[in-house]
Structure 1
């Protein structure tokens, strides 16, 4: 087991170093902030886009009704937009298989601001966690904000399945599962939550 010297001249084992880092992660506050960031991001998307989503789904729902299928609910379609805002593509059935689409990119350019919502929500969440945890420098703040990651990851993964419409690989419309887990669930909260946490640490240290 490797050892390093601490600031007082003593030695710190690698296990103690890892434990020390883990203790600086704010899991309780991060869980609340992670859930809040996900829900606020989704709700902001719903409030601003539910009407447009209903309009875009009208043709698909008419076709579904014609063949006795259930209509796509607006909250599901908004979910596709929400994951597209994380750059997670939507998988749709196609002849001979499936294809992926980005509904935001194919919509009016005025909805491009949706790409900003998840990073902004996570930035605020990370900053709040770091500030409330008493972080006094950027490193402590970024570490504290890592507590946002587990809750956001669980919701990002669960939501990818929750927003699926249809059944079976060929007949299901859903956010791309792997990208939803890795990009939306891990990269986004680590990067943007961490940046927010670092800023919160700077503010807390002043």
Structure 2
């Protein structure tokens, strides 16, 4: 009875450790993806947006577009206003910007693969349990990023107030970019390593 209790405790600790590791790697994966985006499009952002928007925010908008998340631009002049969606990558057409589409999947596949390798995963069920929690850290970063990259401006022309706001759509940033992307790609990377490791044992 004591032995069974020890084994059960060890498994719980092991599972807790793997979830913590996965969530931590999710945070790291989001940061690495953003840094790669910065390397790819920072120059284009400087040229296209100039000093009207902070460079790091502009790069963030490209990064969210790479997750299939639209950037919303809204503005009001007096009593008139409107909203439109912007896809900077599609409008750019440059090779470096287009490469951003593969950054999130590749980084997340790598994160899942690293976890499965480090935790010596051999079973598909275990691979899912290891890869899926990457979403915990990733969704925190993507949700927070959607808030901090929003940019607002205010001005007055001839006594008429004009305001404008631009930033990633929050709900898609959380659900699509923060949850679905890591659930699909990080889990796929973890499963792939588990399957390959099992085949090597046979």
Gaps of 5+ in 1: 1-18, 62-70
Q: What is the CA–CA distance in structure 1 between the aligned matches of 2:94 and 2:44, rounded to whole Å?
A: 13
Q: Which residue is 2:195 aligned to?
A: 202
Q: Which residue is 1:28 aligned to?
A: 20
- TM-score normalised over the length of structure 2: 0.80
Residue 41 of structure 1 pairs with residue 30 of structure 2: no
Q: Which residue is 1:50 aligned to?
A: 42
Q: Is contact 2:40–2:100 with CA below 8 Å preserved after alignment? A: no
Q: Which residue is 1:183 aligned to?
A: 176
Q: Which residue is 2:160 aligned to?
A: none
Which structure has greater helix proportion? 2
Q: Is contact 1:126–1:142 with CA below 8 Å preserved after alignment? A: no
* Superposition CA RMSD, Å: 2.3
Q: Which residue is 1:147 aligned to?
A: 133
TM-superposed deviation, 1:28: 1.8
Q: Is contact 1:34–1:152 with CA below 8 Å preserved after alignment? A: yes
More divergent stretch after superposition (93-102 vs 158-167): 93-102
- TM-score normalised over the length of structure 1: 0.78
Q: Is contact 1:130–1:142 with CA below 8 Å preserved after alignment? A: no
Three-state SS of the structure 1 residue aligned to 2:84 is strand
- Structure 1 runs of 4+ aligned residues shifted over 4 Å read none
Which structure has greater strand proportion? 2
Pairs aligned (count): 176
1:1-206 matched pairs, under 5 angstroms: 23=15, 26-58=18-50, 61=51, 71-94=52-75, 96-110=81-95, 111-166=97-152, 171-205=164-198, 206=200
Gaps of 5+ in 2: 1-10, 155-162
Q: Which residue is 1:16 aligned to?
A: none
